[in-house]
A and B are shown apart, each in its own frame.
Chain A
Amino acid sequence: MSFLNYFQSQKKNTARVAKERLQIIVAHERSPRGGPDYLPLLKEELLLVVRKYVQVDPSAVTVQLDRDGDCEVLELNVILPETQSAGRRR
Chain B
Amino acid sequence: MARIIVVTSGKGGVGKTTTSASFAAGLAKAGHRTAVIDFDVGLRNLDLIMGCERRVVYDFVNVINGEANLKQALIKDKRLDNLYILPASQTRDKEALTQDGVGRVLEELAQDFDYIVCDSPAGIERGAMLAAYFADDAIVVTNPEVSSVRDSDRIIGILSSKTRRAERGEEPVTTRLLLARYAPGRVQKGEMLSVEDVCEILAIDLLGVVPESKAVLAASNAGVPVIMDEDSDAGQAYQDAVARYLGEERPHRFLNEKKGFLGRLFGSGNS
Q: Which residues of A contact B (CB under 8 A)?
A: 2-3, 5-6, 9-10, 12-16, 18-19, 21-23, 25-26, 29-30, 33
Nearest residue, chain A, Cβ from B147: A22
B201 adjacent to A6 (CB under 8 Å): no
Residues B190 and A16 in contact, CB atoms below 8 Å apart: yes
Given contacts A26-B150, A29-B153, A30-B157, contact A15 B197 (CB under 8 A): yes
The answer on a CB contact under 8 Å between B197 and A6 is no
B171 proximal to A (CB < 8 A): no
Say yes or no: A19 contacts B201, CB within 8 Å.
yes
Out of B154, B161, B194, B265, name the residue touching A15 (CB < 8 Å): B194
Candidates B146, B153, B189, B268; contact of A30 at CB < 8 Å:
B153
Contact between chains at A18 and B193 (CB < 8 Å): yes
Check if B71 is an interface residue, CB within 8 A of chain A: no
CB closest chain-A residue, reference B265:
A3
B267 at the interface (CB under 8 A from A): yes
A15-B157 contact given A2-B267, A26-B150, CB 8 Å threshold: no
Across the interface, do B157 and A33 meet the contact criterion of CB distance under 8 Å?
A: yes
Tell yes or no: B103 within 8 A of A by CB: no
Determine the distance from Cα of A22 to Cα of B266 in the docked complex, in whole angstroms. Answer: 32
- List the 10 closest pairs (A to B, CB-CB), nearest first: A13-B190, A9-B189, A19-B197, A33-B157, A26-B153, A15-B190, A22-B201, A18-B146, A15-B193, A22-B149
A13 neighbours in B (Cβ, 8 Å) = 190
Q: Contact string, B2-29, partner A, CB cutoff 8 A, digits 1/0? A: 0000000000000000000000000000
In the complex, residue of chain A having the shortest beta-carbon distance to the beta carbon of B154: A29
Cβ contacts under 8 Å, B154 to chain A: 29
The complex places the Cα of A21 from the Cα of B193 at a distance, in Å, of: 12
Q: Please provide the chain B residues from 222 to 268 with a CB less than 8 Å away from any CB of chain A in the complex.
A: 264-268
Q: Is B106 an interface residue (CB 8 A)?
A: no
Residue pair A23, B201 in contact (C-beta under 8 Å): yes
Distance to closest chain A CB from B178 (angstroms): 18
Does B124 belong to the interface (CB within 8 Å)? no
Residue from A2, A15, A29 within 8 A of B191 (CB atoms):
A15
Tell me, rounded to whole Å, the shortest Cβ–Cβ distance linking A40 to chain B: 15
Choice from A10, A22, A30 contacting B190 with Cβ under 8 Å: A10
**CB atoms of B191 and A9 under 8 A apart:** yes
Chain A hits for B215, CB < 8 A: none
Judge whether B190 and A21 touch: CB under 8 Å: no
Taking a contact as CB atoms under 8 Å apart, the answer to whether A15 and B192 are in contact is yes
| In the complex, chain B residues whose CB is within 8 Å of the CB of A15 | 187, 190-194, 197
Pair B265/A21 contact, Cβ less than 8 Å: no
B42 sits at the interface (CB 8 A): no
The reply on B269 being an interface residue by CB < 8 A is yes
A-B pairs with beta carbons under 8 Å apart, 5 shown = A2-B269, A9-B190, A15-B192, A26-B150, A33-B157
Quick check: A6 and B265 within 8 Å, CB to CB? yes
In the complex, A21→B147 CA distance in Å?
11
